[in-house]
């Protein structure tokens, strides 16, 4: 007996269903089903992938959704009435139905969202054509009314829906093994007979196999934030929410054969065909010309601008070829759209990157000003970007200044229509570590244990792989089999929707005709289809990336112009500047784009770049493939003449000459296929892609073609096969040369400014990271090494960001002080525009005290921003209250028009002089708290001689040091957990040079009851590796100074108030503040008291 599932949920019913698209289709095929529907809750996020998977499997895809139907208007937000919308399943019969389904789902999110994306009867009535509707599960309106005994109202509701969907509305029957299901079916059949409505059987599929039921229950409780032991934990009523076979459905509905038969009838009625061959490009306005004509006009005009009036023949030939390919592929509007965006950015002073990805290989893009990389000069291939033998939209991704990226989005919205553009959605998935924590929480496994298990898994490694390679994790699996069994089933499922970092889609008509939008929790809207689905549908997808380094370059150009009077255009910077290469070779590349990591610095010191092509090579080589294969070592040895340069074949000498015989670029792989086997560059690109994706069927075909081509060119078959194997190996880690070349420009420009304008560069660099205190601290340390002094903030000199105030001097930015908001900084700068502040009172009288409130003022004082007034910080803190009162009185009198005594400088009130200052340690603590780092000194400074005597080493020298050694520093973070062996501490130790993670085992921790955050310690340590992670292990631990020791902490109860609830609450609080100090309990009845010392696991951390 045949049957088709028409009510099916995939993982895109987020945290409600666990069916992966591939598994659903595979299961349908296994049961010989000719069709299958997908009906996720209020979304179509999986529709395109589902359609493609069904097509590939030879199964008819039926696209639908289980939509939410408002009880009244979709615009109503009644907190009681509107929180529980009805469910309704709708299926697209044809293209018109698909368009209506898109619109309904979209409007649910954009107009009807209230807890759920809702439509209403009005919207259904207007957009019901081409749709089949099923009355849904027990949450459907008809079912709810029947269960409530409201037969008459249910009949009215069914009548309304059958009028909206004439001849296309079915009463949906579900049986999950409960008596109430059978009773509901009896009432549904009675109603269907009365109204002459057809019935259909469904299973409300939420998971694939019956044994997945427990994992599914855990999943829905992850969504609900509940534990399975909670009285209100979520569960599905009844059973059989898995992918039932036709036989199982017949057993349930054998007495109602028409309910099964109608699934086939509905499947027959659905004939939707999605097109994946179209290009849905927005219309670019061109007057009096076709888009192709306009593109050619602009391209040739740009070529003259780039190469002069007499365009070289090589340029003419390449440009003509590229324009012809673009014309044949009908992509002129695409290039015009991108060129217009870049042109708008440049005209409005918005920094744009020199290129990104393979688009830098296009001469048309270069002539239009889209890229700044000459593809002829750098040997870049057009076919790597746009393959005439593979029809698909190319990718032109653009980097913009991070600060002004939103202006580009605004321009696109204005030009093409706000309803034509949206940011692209993406889905965050349940990774191995997070799924362990999520499942453990629902199973009520203690957090400490779950966290310990999760941390055993290396970042990014799938759980199954981690289990194979880590015996300790395998042991934990044996200890907690249920946790691992469920986590393995849930791992990788979509957890939540979010916004793609850069992706934007632009449509030729209102977007809801092609793709529905989804409302995110922050009220932002993104596409329900991801970037791959949008691309498959032929929509224009672009990446507008905000690149911090472009912002840095823009800021440093402005600082150089203002301070030095020098205009520096990036494209005019010579690419052979000796000072720039000297800086790069030195490895002093902190802040230099792409060259900051320790590994990269080590590489550039070894490679010692002397020309621009070396920078391109470095960016291509510094990746796992080339590093692990030994190619990097070969490149360095060959560059420095220590290894002979050899070539795979003499025919490819010209191709590989610039990289010393090594194919490190994808472009070279393509040219090798051309030179050896006579491939066209289009064919070579298909080969490159097949090799990269390891498609066996394409590879087999290409291998034969390659070998035959080589043989035709006089290369013996055996040698040809060896060459193919070599190219296949190279292709797996070769890099896009166009991308490396484009980014090498940004690398070079940032290095150039650091070499020639170090103060301005470091100021711009610090400003770019002022919200990240760790990076600020690292870059300030770099300033110190460069001999640049970073001065504390100053209300008379500081700007929002870091500001150069002299040769080798940078003033800390006001915007980087914690708890001093943007509006407060603006108020200070606005008041200062009339002249510098003379003293403390003058500052208070002139700034807007609504924006610079008491808390802000105290933060400015503590951070040292008011030190310029000659008062101690302690004095100013003491004068805050009186000063604010005087300033408020002055402001009131000024606003009321009264003459004020304060108008005259001579009779400004004299504040009492306080000469005392906070201890140095306290001042440093203020700096750390408000600036994120120690600026004027470090707590360790006072122990300099002691540490030298002890031969303690700086933390930056610790990595790789063998044996035991001494380190000292401040305890930045401290976490203590209970283990079977006792109390274990994990701490972060920091000194002036860096920081390190340290583990303190129970026996050592027992010797340091005074240990807490901010403690200054000296410890004997050694390196310890566990589960692939290296940490320092403390062998001994001592205080650098006399600590105030708290011997014990006592909790006092009166006997009358003592209860189990109170004791449990105290235990909970203690567990949240674990530490080394013992805790005791005192119980008193007013006359006598009993003291009991709690066990060691209840110790606390004093604050």
Cβ-count burial 641-656 (b if 16+ within 10 Å, e if not): eeeebebbbebbeebb
CATH topology of domain 759-931: DNA polymerase; domain 1 (1.10.150)
Q: Which residues of the chain have pLDDT under 50?
A: 899, 901-907, 1043-1046
* H or E element, residue 907: none
Separation in Å, CA 627 to CA 302, 636, 744: 40, 12, 19
Q: Tokens 């929509």 sit at which residue?
A: 539
| Domain residue extents for the chain | 21-208+243-269, 291-420, 424-545, 550-748, 759-931, 939-1039, 1049-1100
Domains 21-208+243-269 and 939-1039 share a fold: no
**Length of the chain counted residue by residue:** 1103
Residue among 371, 404, 368 at smallest CA distance from 745: 371
Closest CA to 660 of 623, 625, 604, 613: 613
Give the pair of three-digit tokens for residue 553. 């370059």
Q: What average pLDDT does the chain have?
A: 91
Q: What DSSP state is assigned to residue 801?
A: S
| 3-state SS class at 543 | strand
- Cβ-based neighbours of 599, under 8 Å, separated by 6 or more: 622
- Say whether 669 sits in a helix, a strand or coil: helix
Q: Is 951 exposed, middle or buried (0-12, 13-18, 19+ CB in 10 A)?
A: exposed
The two structure tokens encoding residue 69: 């139907």
* pTM attached to this predicted model: 0.83
Quick one: pLDDT at residue 452? 87
Give the position of tokens 């205080």: 1039
Q: State the first-to-last Cα distance of the chain, in angstroms, to the nearest integer.
A: 72
Alpha helices (H) along 58-178: 95-110, 121-126, 141-147, 151-164
| Cα distance between residue 178 and residue 733, in whole Å | 58
pLDDT of residue 1083: 80
Give which of 984, 1002, 1001 is closest to 1074, Cα–Cα: 984
Pairing state of beta strands 86-92 and 60-69? antiparallel
DSSP, res 271: -
One-character DSSP codes across 547-582: EHHHHHHHHHHHHHHHHH-----GGGS-TT-HHHHH
Q: Quote the pLDDT of residue 905.
A: 46
CATH superfamily of 939-1039: Nucleic acid-binding proteins (2.40.50.140)
Classify the C-alpha dihedral 656-660-663-664 as positive or negative. negative
Cβ atoms within 10 A of the Cβ of 264, count? 16
**Do 1004 and 1026 touch, CB atoms closer than 8 A?**
no
Which CB contacts under 8 angstroms, 24+ apart, belong to 119-127? 119/67, 119/68, 119/69, 119/70, 119/74, 120/69, 120/70, 120/72, 120/73, 120/74, 121/69, 121/160, 121/164, 122/73, 122/74, 123/74, 124/69, 124/88, 124/164, 125/164, 127/100, 127/103
Task: Give the tokens for residue 314.
Answer: 């090589």
- According to the model, what pLDDT value does residue 898 have? 58
Residue 437 to residue 890: CA distance in whole angstroms: 58
- Give CA–CA dist 200/261, Å, rounded: 8
Q: What are the tokens at 788?
A: 């640049």
Asked whether the CA dihedral 178, 184, 188, 189 is positive or negative, the reply is positive
Greatest C-alpha distance within the chain: 108
Which CATH entry fits the domain spanning 424-545: 3.80.30.20, 2.40.70.10, 1.10.10.1600, 3.20.20.70? Answer: 1.10.10.1600
Separation of alpha carbons 1042 and 114, rounded Å: 59
Residue 172, classed as helix, strand or coil, is strand
Q: What are phi and psi of 1028, to 5 degrees?
A: 80, 0
Q: For the beta carbon of residue 187, count every other beta carbon within 10 angstroms.
A: 17
Does domain 21-208+243-269 correspond to CATH entry 3.40.30.10? no
């Amino acid at each position: 007996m045949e049957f088709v599932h028409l009510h099916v949920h995939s993982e895109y019913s987020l945290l409600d269903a666990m069916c992966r698209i591939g598994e659903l289709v595979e299961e349908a095929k296994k049961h010989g089903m000719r069709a299958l529907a997908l009906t996720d809750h209020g979304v179509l996020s999986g529709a395109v992938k589902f359609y493609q998977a069904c097509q590939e499997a030879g199964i008819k895809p039926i696209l639908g959704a289980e939509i939410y139907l408002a009880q009244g208007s979709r615009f109503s937000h009644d907190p009681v009435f509107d929180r529980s919308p009805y469910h309704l399943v709708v299926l697209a019969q044809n293209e018109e139905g698909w368009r209506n389904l898109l619109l309904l789902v979209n409007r649910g999110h954009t107009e009807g969202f209230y807890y759920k994306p809702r439509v209403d009867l009005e919207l259904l009535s207007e957009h019901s054509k081409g749709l089949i509707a099923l009355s849904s599960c027990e949450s459907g309106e008809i079912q709810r009314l029947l269960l409530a005994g409201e037969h008459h109202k249910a009949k009215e509701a069914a009548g309304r829906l059958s009028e909206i969907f004439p001849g296309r509305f079915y009463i949906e029957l579900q049986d999950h093994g409960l008596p109430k299901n059978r009773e509901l079916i009896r009432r549904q059949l009675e109603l269907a007979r009365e109204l002459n409505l057809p019935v259909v059987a469904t299973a409300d599929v939420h998971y694939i196999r019956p044994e997945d039921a427990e994992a599914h229950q855990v999943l829905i409780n992850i969504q609900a934030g509940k534990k399975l032991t909670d009285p209100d934990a979520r569960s599905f009523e009844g059973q059989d929410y898995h992918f039932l076979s036709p036989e199982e459905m017949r057993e349930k509905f054998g007495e109602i054969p028409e309910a099964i038969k109608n699934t086939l009838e509905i499947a027959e009625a659905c004939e939707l065909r999605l097109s994946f061959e179209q290009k849905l490009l927005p219309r670019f306005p061109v007057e009096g010309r076709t888009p192709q004509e306009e593109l050619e006009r602009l391209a040739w005009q740009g070529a003259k601008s780039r190469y002069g009036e007499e365009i070289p023949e090589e340029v003419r030939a390449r440009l003509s070829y590229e324009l012809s390919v673009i014309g044949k592929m009908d992509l002129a509007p695409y290039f015009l759209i991108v060129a217009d965006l870049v042109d708008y950015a440049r005209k409005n002073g918005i920094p744009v990157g020199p290129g990104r990805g393979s688009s830098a290989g296009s001469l048309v893009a270069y002539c239009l000003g889209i890229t700044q990389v000459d593809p002829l000069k750098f040997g870049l291939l057009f076919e790597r970007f746009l393959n005439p033998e593979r029809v698909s939209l190319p990718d032109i991704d653009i980097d913009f200044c991070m600060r002004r990226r939103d202006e580009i989005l605004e321009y696109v919205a204005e030009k093409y229509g706000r309803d034509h553009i949206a940011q692209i959605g993406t889905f965050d998935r349940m990774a191995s570590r997070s799924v362990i924590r999520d499942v453990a929480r629902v199973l009520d496994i203690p957090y400490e244990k779950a966290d310990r298990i999760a941390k055993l898994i290396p970042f990014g490694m799938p759980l199954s792989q981690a289990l194979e390679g880590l015996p300790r994790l395998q042991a934990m699996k044996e200890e907690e089999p249920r946790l691992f069994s469920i986590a393995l089933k849930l791992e990788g499922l979509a957890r939540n929707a979010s916004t793609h970092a850069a992706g934007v889609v632009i449509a030729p008509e209102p977007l809801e005709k092609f793709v529905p939008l989804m409302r995110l929790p922050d009220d932002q809207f993104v596409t329900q289809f991801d970037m791959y689905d949008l691309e498959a549908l032929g929509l224009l997808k672009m990446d507008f990336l905000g690149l911090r380094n472009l912002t840095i370059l823009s800021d440093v150009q402005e600082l150089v112009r203002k301070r030095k009077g020098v205009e520096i255009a990036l494209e005019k910077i010579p690419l052979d500047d000796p000072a720039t290469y000297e800086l790069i070779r030195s490895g002093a590349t902190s802040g230099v784009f792409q060259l900051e990591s320790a590994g990269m610095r080590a590489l550039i010191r070894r490679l010692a770049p002397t020309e621009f092509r070396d920078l391109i090579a470095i960016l291509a080589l510094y990746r796992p493939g080339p590093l692990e294969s030994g190619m990097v070592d070969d490149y360095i040895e060959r560059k420095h003449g220590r290894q002979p340069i050899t070539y795979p074949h003499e025919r490819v000498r010209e191709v590989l000459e610039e990289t010393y015989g090594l194919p490190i670029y994808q472009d070279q792989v393509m040219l090798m296929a051309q030179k050896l086997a006579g491939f066209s560059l289009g064919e070579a690109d298909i080969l490159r892609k097949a090799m990269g994706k390891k498609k066996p069927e394409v590879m087999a075909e290409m291998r034969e073609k390659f070998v035959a081509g080589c043989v035709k060119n006089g290369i013996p078959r055996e040698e040809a096969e060896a060459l193919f194997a070599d190219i296949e190996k190279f292709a797996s880690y070769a890099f896009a040369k166009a991308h490396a070349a484009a980014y090498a420009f940004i690398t070079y420009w940032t290095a150039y400014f650091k070499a020639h304008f170090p103060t301005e560069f470091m100021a711009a660099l610090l400003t770019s990271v002022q919200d990240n205190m760790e990076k600020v601290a690292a870059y300030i340390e770099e300033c110190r090494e460069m001999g640049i002094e970073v001065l504390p903030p100053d209300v008379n000199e500081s700007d929002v960001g870091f500001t150069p105030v002299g040769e080798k001097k940078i003033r800390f930015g006001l915007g980087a002080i914690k708890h001093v908001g943007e509006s407060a900084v603006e108020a200070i700068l606005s008041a200062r525009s009339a002249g510098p502040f003379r003293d403390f009172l003058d500052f208070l009288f002139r700034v807007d005290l609504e924006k610079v409130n008491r808390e802000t003022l105290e933060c400015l004082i503590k951070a040292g921003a008011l030190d310029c007034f000659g008062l101690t910080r302690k004095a100013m803190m003491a004068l805050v209250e009186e000063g604010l009162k005087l300033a408020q009185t002055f402001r009131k009198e000024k606003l009321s028009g009264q003459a004020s005594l304060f108008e005259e400088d001579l009779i400004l009130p004299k504040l009492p002089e306080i000469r005392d200052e906070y201890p140095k340690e306290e001042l440093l603590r203020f700096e750390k708290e408000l600036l994120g780092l120690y600026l004027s000194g470090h707590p360790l400074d006072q122990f300099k001689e002691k540490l030298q005597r002890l031969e303690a080493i700086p933390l930056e020298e610790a990595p790789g040091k063998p044996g035991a050694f001494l380190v000292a520093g401040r305890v930045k973070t401290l976490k203590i957990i209970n283990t079977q062996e006792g109390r274990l501490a994990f701490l972060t130790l920091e000194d002036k040079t860096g920081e390190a993670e340290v583990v303190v085992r129970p026996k050592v921790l027992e010797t340091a009851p005074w240990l807490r955050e901010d403690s200054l310690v000296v410890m004997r340590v050694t390196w310890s590796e566990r589960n692939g992670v290296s940490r320092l292990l403390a062998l001994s631990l001592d205080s650098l100074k006399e600590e105030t020791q708290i011997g014990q902490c006592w909790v006092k109860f009166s006997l009358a108030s003592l209860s189990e609830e109170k004791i449990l609450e105290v235990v909970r609080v203690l567990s949240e503040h674990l530490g080394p100090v013992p805790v005791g309990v005192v119980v008193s009845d007013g006359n006598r008291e009993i003291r009991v010392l709690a066990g060691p696991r209840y110790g606390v951390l004093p604050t």
